């Protein structure tokens, strides 16, 4: 199941998709490092983002 991420941060609003949850976790970690200067996100942060910012898509980018 493809995943879609919409960043929760008001000054960021990044948006990207990934093929599965494992890839999505890598993309989120990369995004946090590049855009938010978070080198090693905690499991709590990852769980929070996966809950609040990640949705499942039908496999195609919606936008």
**Contacts with Zn ion, residue ranges (CB under 5 A):** 7, 9, 12, 14, 35
Helices (H), the chain: 21-36, 43-52
Phi, then psi, of 5 in degrees rounded to 5 = -115, 130
Nearer of residues 35 and 61 to Zn ion, judged by Cβ: 35
Q: What is the DSSP letter of 61?
A: -
Nearer of residues 9 and 55 to Zn ion, judged by Cβ: 9
Q: Which residues pair with 17 in a beta bridge?
A: 4
Shortest Cβ 13–Zn ion spacing (Å)? 7
Nearer of residues 51 and 58 to Zn ion, judged by Cβ: 51
């Amino acid at each position: 199941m493809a995943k879609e991420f919409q960043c929760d941060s008001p000054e960021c609003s990044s948006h990207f998709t990934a093929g599965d949850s494992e890839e999505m976790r890598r993309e989120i970690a990369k995004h946090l490092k590049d855009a938010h200067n978070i080198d090693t996100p905690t499991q709590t942060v990852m769980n929070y983002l996966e809950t609040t910012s990640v949705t499942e898509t039908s496999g195609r980018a919606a936008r």
